[in-house]
Amino acid sequence: MDIRADSSLRAVLAAILGNFVVTCGKFTGWAISFSPSMLAEAVHSLADTLNQVLLYVGIRHGAGKPTAAYPFGKGRARYIWNLVSAMGIFFVGFGFTTYHGVSKLLETSVTDPVNESWIPMVILALSFVIESYTLYVAVGSVNQARGEKSFWEFIRLGDDPTGVAVLLEDAIAVIGVTTAFIGLWISKQTGSPLPDAICSIIIGCLLGVMAVMLAIANGRILMGVSAGVDEETEIREFLEAYPTVERVVSLKTAVMAPGSMRLALEIEFHGGILINRQQIERDAERIRDGEDPTYILFETAERMVRTVGREINRLESDLIKQFPQIQVIDLEVN
């Protein structure tokens, strides 16, 4: 896979750059205000930045060519790194943020003073602009990668959770910034720090939900999820219409990497179509003429084996030409 053509790469790089800038700004805002929701957003952005670095590592690692040690390539490395990323979001983002928010909520009194500086809110507003742009890039990458699938079908069942991960992280980042802004604004209007603390808990819960969704999306592929009913139906229809195939006994698929699948087939060939009747008649004539039947039958059997082998090669070649996403074919003749 050409990494430069990977639609997820641009979204990941844009997200890393955007989140790094936003993280620095949010930690500055927290240092000024000591707002729990601002700290929640700063940790949120830090977790996003680090996790998107992991996504980038996964793209690079998963683009490795097949080797003797990895004969089918390293495409699934992407999903392993995505799963590590989801765990990071859960423990760092959800765990720390929610714990800090609950602690502040229990420690805070309605009479505690609220920081009057508007700088944190300005930082959140600028963060909203930057993260909205990275979300726009992520939506574009998903639209490019989803093909004919509907947007939500690709989110739920697509074979590229990297793009989905960036999309979810950026979407929740925008929601989180908005939540933190609202919490700060309400706290300033009411003079109570409680809304700010409550919003930090909401942000932590959003991160927890996202982490679980990403873990499920990547886990299903690591467990060997199929390419999907529609794609398998297309492959089956192609095979059943193939001139020399009599019956498809079994057909299974497994996603190996974005745009790459493994196909396991068990089929029956039309014996009558593969047999060269003219050659059989010539062999029969040679036997009638007194030649050794054993030698002739040996030639016939050997020729049939070669014929089946050539037909398997032709079928596999036509399959890959029709369905370029098929990278590996395990074909058994019944």
Residues 17 and 165 occupy one common structural domain: yes
Residues 119 and 266 occupy one common structural domain: no
Q: Angle, nearest 10°, between helix axes 119-145 and 7-33?
A: 170
Residues 238 and 213 occupy one common structural domain: no
Residues 149 and 297 occupy one common structural domain: no
Residues 212 and 241 occupy one common structural domain: no
Give residues with Cβ within 8 angstroms of 12, minimum separation 6.
Answer: 52, 55, 56, 59, 162, 166
Domain boundary among 158, 189, 222: 222
Burial class of residue 262 in the structure, from the number of CB atoms within 10 Å of its CB (0-12 exposed, 13-18 middle, 19+ buried): middle
Range 201-208 average pLDDT = 86
pLDDT tens, residue by residue, 242-252 = 988 889 999 99
Neighbours of 152 (CB within 10 A): 9
Question: Measured between alpha carbons, how far is 111 from 39 in angstroms, rounded to an integer?
Answer: 21
pLDDT tens, residue by residue, 94-144 = 887 788 778 877 877 666 666 677 788 888 888 888 888 888 887 887 777
What pLDDT sits at residue 221? 80
What pLDDT sits at residue 6? 55
In the block, which residue shows the tokens 């990895």? Answer: 70
Residues 153 and 125 occupy one common structural domain: yes
Contact 207, 78 (CB under 8 A): no
Catalogue the long-range contacts made by 71-77 (C-beta closer than 8 Å, 24 or more residues apart).
Answer: 72/256, 72/262, 72/327, 72/328, 73/256, 73/257, 73/260, 73/327, 75/1, 75/256, 75/257, 75/258, 75/260, 76/221, 76/222, 76/256, 76/257
pLDDT at 309 over 80: yes
Residue 241 DSSP SS3: coil
Residues 116 and 187 occupy one common structural domain: yes
If you ran DSSP here, which 8-state letter would residue 333 be given? E
Residues 215 and 124 occupy one common structural domain: yes
In the block, which residue shows the tokens 């601002």? Answer: 38
Question: Measured between alpha carbons, how far is 79 from 85 in angstroms, rounded to an integer?
Answer: 10
* Tally of structural domains, the chain: 2
Residues 205 and 247 occupy one common structural domain: no
Domain range holding 123?
A: 3-222
Domain boundary among 222, 238, 259: 222
Segment among 42-46, 173-177, 330-334 with least mean pLDDT: 42-46
pLDDT tens, residue by residue, 131-161 = 888 888 878 877 777 777 777 777 766 667 7
Residue 255 DSSP SS3: strand
Residues 250 and 210 occupy one common structural domain: no
Q: What is the mean pLDDT of the chain?
A: 81
What pLDDT sits at residue 299? 81
Residues 157 and 302 occupy one common structural domain: no
Give residues with Cβ within 8 angstroms of 105, minimum separation 6.
Answer: 194, 197, 198, 201
Report the CATH number that the domain containing residue 134 is assigned in CATH: 1.20.1510.10
Report the CATH number that the domain containing residue 297 is assigned in CATH: 3.30.70
Residues 163 and 270 occupy one common structural domain: no
Domain boundary among 168, 203, 222: 222
| Cα angle 28-169-144, degrees, rounded to a multiple of 5 | 130
